[in-house]
């Protein structure tokens, strides 16, 4: 095997994507029995990694395993090895302090194995490093992949990760509710796809509340009550009420703060 520059530790979705784009030569390290034919890089185990001694290790593992895996690597790799993790929510100090050069490389994207990213240039990357040498290395690596690179510390990255949950994971859950409502009444969910796409396309970096439409934005309590009457699931009814109140709060002028009460008597 040729000299190894990068080792990607992990066998999940992000590891699969990074293996396809990180500048090699490199390997994928996994404790699972992976088939090399399914990966764009050779697959090795931890014992082999100790012999290869790569310059850089990327920990594409679950957040709760970052400490454990980096401790294991500290037993077999030099302290000068550069080690990155790929978590948006985990502080960089979860990587073993044995390593002198630690950092974070976090793609702001939900990635699924087998669904290639068509253009990494458009995928924002967040980086962070414990020292200037690592920062320079990470900046170069990230810039080679993406046109949008942000340097955020642990606290900022955690807040952005939380915001991503609201804007991505929770929105997907709302899509599922819409799918269920359509499915229950034999309505094609596809009919909603144009408005879903249009809403996403309209986001241009300005305040989303300024583009808010719908019954709650108009404080149209009659329409909102009609919607509530159609909901047979108490979970959906509560969610509808809570989100409608939130929309109303964002849309009301500051002079109308007295209207921002719990409006159970309104709808």
- Distance, first Cα to last Cα, the chain: 68
Residue 265 lies in a domain: no
Residue 39 lies in a domain: yes
Task: Please tell me whether residues 19 and 147 are part of one structural domain.
Answer: yes
Task: Please tell me whether residues 127 and 161 are part of one structural domain.
Answer: no
Task: Please tell me whether residues 66 and 181 are part of one structural domain.
Answer: no
Q: Are strands 43-44 and 26-29 parallel, antiparallel or unpaired?
A: parallel
> Which helix H or strand E contains 259, and what residues bound it?
none
Percent of the chain scoring above 90 in pLDDT:
72
Task: Please tell me whether residues 144 and 201 are part of one structural domain.
Answer: no
Asked whether residue 96 carries a pLDDT value surpassing 80, the answer given is yes
Report the CATH number that the domain containing residue 135 is assigned in CATH: 3.40.50.720
49, burial (CB in 10 Å: exposed 0-12, middle 13-18, buried 19+): buried
Question: pLDDT, tens digit, for every residue of 45-85?
Answer: 888 888 888 999 999 999 999 999 999 999 999 999 999 99
Last residue of a domain, one of 102, 129, 152: 152
Residue 233 lies in a domain: yes
Closest-CA residue to 112 (of 19, 13, 22, 18) = 13
Task: Please tell me whether residues 134 and 197 are part of one structural domain.
Answer: no
- Into how many domains does the chain fold? 2
Task: Please tell me whether residues 161 and 143 are part of one structural domain.
Answer: no
Residue 258 lies in a domain: no
Residue 29: domain span: 6-152
pLDDT (0 to 100) of residue 258: 41
pLDDT (0 to 100) of residue 256: 47
212, burial (CB in 10 Å: exposed 0-12, middle 13-18, buried 19+): middle
* Average of per-residue pLDDT across 35-44: 77
Q: If DSSP codes are grouped into helix, strand and coil, which group holds residue 28?
A: strand
What does pLDDT average to over the chain?
89
Report the CATH number that the domain containing residue 208 is assigned in CATH: 1.10.1040.20
Residue 18 lies in a domain: yes
């Amino acid at each position: 095997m040729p000299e190894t520059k990068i080792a990607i530790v992990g066998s999940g979705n992000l590891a699969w994507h990074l293996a396809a784009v990180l500048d090699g030569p490199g390997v994928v390290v996994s404790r699972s029995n992976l088939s090399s034919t399914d990966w764009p890089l050779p697959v090795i185990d931890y014992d082999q990694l100790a012999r290869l001694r790569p310059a850089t290790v990327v920990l594409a593992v679950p957040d709760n395993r970052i400490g454990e895996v980096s401790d294991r690597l500290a037993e077999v790799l030099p302290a000068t090895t550069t080690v990155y993790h790929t978590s948006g929510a985990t502080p960089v100090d979860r990587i073993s302090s044995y390593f002198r050069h630690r950092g974070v490389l976090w793609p702001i994207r939900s990635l699924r194995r087998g669904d290639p990213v068509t253009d990494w240039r458009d995928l924002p990357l967040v980086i962070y490093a414990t020292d200037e040498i690592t920062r320079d290395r990470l900046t170069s690596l990230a810039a080679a992949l993406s046109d949008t690179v942000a340097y955020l510390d642990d606290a900022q990255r955690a807040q952005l990760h939380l915001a991503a949950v609201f804007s991505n994971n929770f929105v997907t859950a709302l899509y599922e509710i819409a799918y269920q409502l359509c499915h229950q009444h034999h309505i094609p969910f596809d009919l909603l796809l144009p408005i879903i796409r249009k809403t996403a396309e309209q986001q241009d970096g300005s305040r989303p509340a300024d583009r808010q439409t719908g019954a709650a934005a108009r404080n149209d309590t009659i329409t909102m009550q009609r919607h509530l009457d159609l909901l047979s699931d108490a979970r959906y009814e509560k969610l509808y009420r809570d989100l409608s109140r939130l929309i109303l709060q964002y849309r009301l002028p500051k002079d109308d703060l007295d209207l921002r009460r719990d409006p159970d008597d309104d709808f």
